[in-house]
Each structure stands twice: as C-alpha cells, then as structure tokens.
Chains A and B, each alone.
Chain A
Amino acid sequence: MPEIQMREALNQAMCEEMQRDPDVFLIGEEVAEYDGAYKVSQGMLAKFGPMRVVDAPISECGFAGLGVGAAMVGMRPIIEFMTFSFSLVAFDQVVNNAPKVRHMSGGQLKVPIVFRGISGPGQQLGATHSWTVDALYTHVPGLKVVCPTTAYDAKGLLKTAIRDDDPVIFLENESMYGLRGEVPDEEYLLPFGKADIKREGTDCTVVAWGHGCLTALAAAEKLHKEHGIEVEVVDPRTLRPLDMPAIIASVQKTGYCVTVEEGYPQCGIGSEIAAQLQENCFGYLDNSVIRVASLDVPMPYSKPLLQHVLPGVDRVADAIKKAIYFQG
C-alpha cells in the first residue's frame, strides 16, 4: 500500500467524491488559488474549476450559511474553515441552522454538509486561535463529529462524511497534516460510530482520538518499555456517534480507563465517557476513570506555558499509572 500524508488523503477523498457527484463543491478561504492555507486542497482548482473550488471572502458566517442553504436543496457542500476557531464566527449557522432544519421541517429537508478544518491548540497562536472544538460541537444533537488520527481513517471517514445526509463536523489537526500512513489504492469507506483499537493491551484502556491519540500511543509505548505495562488505546474515530460498546468491551477486559483530550476537562468528551462507563459498566471498573485534558485555562502564547497547559506524554503516562495503582 502506498504511504501518503494525511493532507493528501483528505485531498483524495474530496477529489474522488467530487468526481463521483457533481453536487459536491468546496468553499472556504484561500482554498482555490492559494491551494489551501495548509495545502489540503492543492491542485483542486485546476481539476474542478472555480465553480466547484471556491475562494470565499473572510465571511465565515456567510459562506457557512451559503453551504447550509445549498444543502437544503440537495447539494453537498464542503465548507473549509481555515481553523475551527474561525467557525465560532459562524456558530449559529453550524449549531442552529445546519442541524435543526431537518427537525424543524418535520423531516422534509435534509442538510448534507461537511464542515472541515483544523481543531486544536496549534502552535502558540494565543487564546482565541487555539480552540479544540470537539466537545463544543459534540454537544449538539443533529450534528455528527469526526476526528481522524491516521491518513487511512481520514480518507475513509471524509468520504463517508461527504455522502452522509446529515451535517458532519470533520476535525483535522495542523501538526498531523504531514503524517504519513498507508492508504490503499482501491476505494473504501469507513463507517461512523465504529471505534478502532490503535494498540492492543490488557492493563488499562485509554480512549483517545486525533492528536491526543498520538500522545496516548507514545505514552503507551513509554510504559511498555519502562515498566512492561500494556495499554490498550481505543480510538473512537467519531465522537458523535460515539462507539460506547467498543469502549465498554475494552474496559471489561482491562478494568481501568483513562481518557485523553486536548480540549477542556469541564463538560469534555472524557466527562461523557466517564459518565457512560459508570452508568453502563460500573461493576467492571476497578478504579475511577481518569480524565487527562488541557488545563482549564485559556491557551497562553508563551511556549513553556502552553506546553504546561497541553496534555503531554508524561501527564498521560502518569494518569495511567495512577489509574492502575502502579507504584514504581
């Protein structure tokens, strides 16, 4: 299987779906002539022309709404937010219009739209530019939320997102665009609500996705090397729907659970997982679930401060040790 970067995988997914379905188009800031602020849409303007790969003015509320409207009459827009921090300018379109039109029309209308772009604290961009929006959007009924960790997942899930008849939030990560992974030549789609075990283990379940999953995998490797602890890393891949059965099955095996996310701890995804675990498999837990998240503060600019706020490998490893009562 050829190894490609995650940005190429996303690019392939969009191109294939645009070739397949003339109703699919991409709109966003700098997606066309600039080839994308992060080069995800590289070459797409040349392939599909300016009606299908569209440079928008800096009007997030406007073009997100344009997408929802076009979706109401059956088009399949892909809205690129340069980062999801800028989606907040369009919050009403994303959380009110997109996911509510089907419901309020009594099912007469559908909104098959994909909002995609970077989520995550990025590289010292300051508080307003550093949003991890996973929990914000996962909170909303009517939205689906996807957060891939590998190039393979990214391609298969984005194709599914584009074909899905509901609004999908597709969360990418700037520092992962260049990561390489194997992606088959032949077409494939990946289902929503289906977790992937990124590392098998018997001692502790760690639930993590996106960039946090890479941190979790690094922590697992470290604990394996240093202490022979075998961590199972469960990547839910989609946060809504969330594959609780897979998480529960893993916890039933290990008896312990740690969640890792780059968003905030209060009302985070980890909080939800912990709550569902205690509701559904309390008897299997040999300790309380431990959440690892960014510290509960705005993202500071200064590098040492930011590093302190973000959940790094050591913090995750320590949480796992604490969860399994490891002393040593």
Chain B
Amino acid sequence: MPWAMATPTRTRGFFEALFFHVGTGFWGFSCGGLILALNGKGVSVTTLVEPQQKIDPSPSQMMDWYRQMVLIRAFEMRCAQSYQQQKIGGFCHLYVGQEAVAVGSIAAVRPSDYVITAYRDHGHAIARGMDIHPLFAELYGKKTGCSHGKGGSMHFFDAEKNFFGGHAIVGAHIPLATGLGWAAKYRKEDRVVLCYFGDGAINQGSFHEALNLAGLFKLPIIFMVENNGYGMGTHLHRASAVTDLKLRTGDAYGIPGKDVDGMDCVAMYRMMVAAAEYCRKGNGSIFLDVKTYRYRGHSMSDPQKYRTKEEVAQYQEHDPIGRLEKQLKDAHVLDDKKVTQISDEIHARVEAAHEKADADAYPDTADVWSDIYANPYGDYKL
C-alpha cells in the first residue's frame, strides 16, 4: 500500500500571526516556501504544509505509477479512435498530458478516502483502480458499463471504490465534496476527500461557496485545481482576475494553498502525502494549484485555434510519462526493452477490454425507468 509509506515527519500546523492592517486591500508574498497572505483584517493565513521531500517512493511504487499512466494514455488514445468510429457519443474529454495528477495524488491516499471530480474523469477512475472494461462499456452505452450506460464519459461512478463521479456541470460537484468531508468529520472517520476541478471552475459561485464552507467548518478536503491553463478556449488570464490561484483561497477562506508541478508524478505524490496528513490531523482543508497541461483539444471537436502547436510541443517536452520513465531508467529499474514490453502488454489489455465492451449488449429500453427513485411510484407513461 503506497499510503503506508507516509512516515510522520515535521509537525505541520496552522500558523497564524497578526499583522498590521494594510489599507483596505490585501497583499501576499512568498518566501522560501513559506507562503504568507494577509487578508483585510490583518490576519495572516499561513501554511507550513510542505511537500514530503524526504519521502522517496520505492522503485516498485514508481513502476506501478508508470504502468498506470501508460494505461491511462493508452485508454485515452483508444477512446479517441472509438470516438472517431462513433462508438462513443456525446462529449468526451481526454486526460492525455494530465496523467501524473490523478496517479500521483491517488497513490498518496487510502482506498477509504473519497474521490470526486469533474467530467474529465477517465484518468481518475483508472487511477482509483476501476477496471477498464466497464469504462469502455460505459462509453459505448452498454449495460455492463460502470454506470449501466446511463452516465457516459462524463459520469463514471464506482461507489465501492469511493469514487463519486464524474460531474458535467462545471463547478457543481465542488459543494458535494464539502458534504463528503462533512460526513467524514461528523462520523469521526479517518478519511480525506480528494476534489478535482479545472481552472475554469474556480470562477463559479459554487467553488467559492464550497471553499468558504470547508474553511469555516475545517473539513478534511484536498481541493485540487488541475490547472491546464485553459477552460475550453479561454486562457486562465482571460478568465481569472487573480491568476495566482492560491491567493484566492488562502486569504479569502483560510485554506492554505500550494503550487504543485502536476507534470511530475513524484512531486505530486510528495505534496499529497503532506496534504493528506494535514487534513487527517483535523487542520481543515488544503488547496493545491496543480500546474498541468492537456495535449488534446478540450473535447473531441475543438479546432484549438487558441494555442499554437509550438506551445503544445513545449509542454510535451515535460511529458509526465517520459519524466517518470527517465527517473526509472536512471534508477536502473527500467530499460528500453522493458518499456516496449510494458507498452505492448498494456495496449493488448486495452484492446481486449475495448473489444469485449464493444461486443456487450445495450441495456433494455425498459431500463430507462430504473435508477430514478428508491421507491418508484409506478410508471408514469403517456
């Protein structure tokens, strides 16, 4: 279990100090990793949450992450093909480029912790350990799908794995995370909530209301903005008045924020170990501004006129899979032969799952009447 690696290290706490009131506004600065941000009342919200640099994941852990990331990418490439073949309907948002975020973060928590995300959810579902056959089946609208064909790409669910979706209305699931956190705290359960959303979602009222609730009630939630720079075709700078996103939570809601390199699985993991520990100790929530990038268009029909090929190529140079591959090669646990072997093996697995799902049956049309009420009041039909 990766989470068993989390050894207790430096004490983390919620550091508060009084500062002079500075005009009517607020200001913040960062020094040596200690982030200070002053709010209008002159109270500083400070975090000493630092990534657990001392933790070195074992080679076998890293190999596991590597396989997961390769699997996610292979899954997504198959999805792109299936979408072209019209096996997938509706909207389909691929996770290619962002793999390290889901893999590195979920690796640092326990199966009992809660996970909730937006519509770009394939990577999280796979990192959470969901089998890929029911995922393909869901995409193809089959009865064997993880949501029995009711949800589609944007609505993967697995209650047993504490994976609470897959949500398509931008920002709408963020308050749900506060409910998950509330329940854990209320029941005195040792759980944290992982809540993922995009940089576009932070401009929704639901985000701000949820963050205030989480800050007010000190709920054990790790809020992660998967900051890939764009909400559809709109760059962060054209959507957000303040683009240093942690300033939008630390000052405002008493939730400390940190930047994380989301293209680096190990960095992601180290940060998450610390964040989870902070939350488990009852300190409240954490906000992580995870810098990442999506290689593909927003969805399958996006001409991508808002960015250049060069920009995409630049980020691809820091590819999260390539990076981990290099780390593993440097540690002599991986070589080119093994890379090919893993790739072949995973592609075969993906192809087999796809074929099986493709051959599965569609749900019965009568199934449209199920999964609506716990106690149906009868079929109201015309």
Q: Which residue of A lies closest to B143 (CB)?
A: A302
Q: How far is the CA of A295 from the CA of B201 in the complex (A)?
A: 32
3 closest A-B pairs (Cβ-Cβ)? A302-B141, A301-B152, A124-B89
Contacts of B367 in A (CB 8 A): 300, 305
Q: B382 to A266, Cβ gap below 8 A?
A: no
Partner of A58, one of B89, B147, B152, B201: B201
Contacts of B231 in A (CB 8 A): 57-58
Q: How far is the CA of A123 from the CA of B141 in the complex (A)?
A: 13
**Contacts A33-B233, A123-B90; A61 near B154 (Cβ below 8 A):** no
Query: Contacting chain B: which of A95-103, A125-133, A159-167, A195-203?
Result: A125-133
Q: Which of A57, A88, A128, A304 has most B Cβ within 10 Å? A: A57
Contacts of B145 in A (CB 8 A): 302
Partner of B203, one of A34, A57, A86, A123: A57
**Contacts A33-B306, A57-B240; A301 near B149 (Cβ below 8 A):** yes
Contact flags (1/0) for A31-54 with B, using CB distance below 8 Å? 001100100000000000000000
Q: Does B339 contact A (CB under 8 A)?
A: no
Q: How far is the CA of A57 from the CA of B204 in the complex (A)?
A: 8
Q: A125 to B168, Cβ gap below 8 A?
A: yes
Q: B172 to A89, Cβ gap below 8 A?
A: yes
> How big is chain A's contact interface, by range?
35 or more
Main DSSP-derived SS at the B contact region: loop
Q: Which residue of B lies closest to A266 (CB)?
A: B380
* Subset of 22 A-B contacts with CB under 8 Å: A55-B239, A57-B200, A57-B234, A58-B171, A58-B201, A59-B203, A59-B204, A59-B205, A60-B204, A89-B206, A125-B91, A125-B154, A125-B168, A126-B90, A126-B151, A129-B90, A291-B382, A296-B381, A297-B372, A300-B149, A304-B365, A309-B368
Residues on B lying within 8 angstroms of A by beta carbon are 89-91, 138, 141-142, 145, 147, 149-152, 154-155, 167-172, 200-201, 203-206, 231-234, 238-240, 305-306, 362-363, 365, 367-369, 372, 380-382
Q: How far is the CA of A256 from the CA of B368 in the complex (A)?
A: 30
Q: Does A245 contact B (CB under 8 A)?
A: no
Contact flags (1/0) for A290-314 with B, using CB distance below 8 Å? 1111011110111111001100000
Contacts between the two chains (Cβ within 8 Å), count: 139
Q: Does A29 contact B (CB under 8 A)?
A: yes
Q: A126 to B155, Cβ gap below 8 A?
A: yes
CB distance from A83 to the nearest CB of B (A): 10
Residues on A lying within 8 angstroms of B by beta carbon are 29-30, 33-34, 37, 55, 57-62, 85-86, 88-89, 122-129, 265-266, 290-293, 295-298, 300-305, 308-309
Q: Which residue of B lies closest to A129 (CB)?
A: B168
Contacts of A295 in B (CB 8 A): 368-369, 381-382
CB distance from B308 to the nearest CB of A (A): 14
Q: B232 to A128, Cβ gap below 8 A?
A: no
Q: Which residue of A lies closest to B366 (CB)?
A: A308
Contacts of A290 in B (CB 8 A): 382
Q: Which of A34, A61, A122 has most B Cβ within 10 Å? A: A34
**Contacts A55-B238, A58-B201; A124 near B168 (Cβ below 8 A):** no
Q: How far is the CA of A237 from the CA of B150 in the complex (A)?
A: 33
Contacts of A59 in B (CB 8 A): 203-205
Q: How far is the CA of A88 from the CA of B168 in the complex (A)?
A: 13
Contacts of A123 in B (CB 8 A): 89-90
Q: How far is the CA of A300 from the CA of B205 in the complex (A)?
A: 28
Q: How far is the CA of A59 from the CA of B365 in the complex (A)?
A: 37
